[in-house]
Amino acid sequence: MIETSRTLQKVEARIELMGLPEPELITVDDDSPVWPDNIADLTPDELAHHMTYWTGLGAYGRNHLARCETDASAWLEQYKHDRSVFVFKSGVGPKGDYSTVTEAKAVFDQLPKTINIKILLLEAEAAVKILKGRIDGYEKKNAAISREQTRREKEHAESRFQV
């Protein structure tokens, strides 16, 4: 059985190394903007800084998401390939090591090498899910900023035409 708590800790450590904070995390020790209670209170420069910051994190996160998806695909293909080779080489039937393909696959799934591959696959898939959640948070912040910019532009255009 795979330890999910240990796996989650490893995945979180992996994502932490990427430098991607959780979207709701507020950091004031560097150049990251503090998310305001009311976006309408931001100055145009602050709004631009937020858009730049969250867009950058989203792009950076998507790059790492692609890497994690690639890892997950590679480990899944490795698992499938190794299982096929194991079943083929062990032989199934009266002269083989196992009476059915299902039995051979069950034995393969219990091998230490297979368990390690499954752990690596689980970690890669967990990283994909967590990254997708973080990127979604970044995109939601960008959407809120975009709506605020549109609101301001509309107000400005309407005020120019009012007499």
Q: Which pLDDT tens digit goes with each residue over 11-56?
A: 778 888 888 766 544 444 566 777 888 889 899 998 988 888 888 8
Task: Output the pTM of the full model.
Answer: 0.72
> DSSP code of 100?
S
Cβ 66 vs Cβ 72: under 8 Å: no
Helices (H), the chain: 4-17, 44-90, 101-109, 112-161
pLDDT digits (tens, 9 = 90+) for 60-111: 888 889 888 888 988 999 999 999 999 999 888 888 889 999 999 999 999 9
Enumerate the domain spans of the chain: 44-161
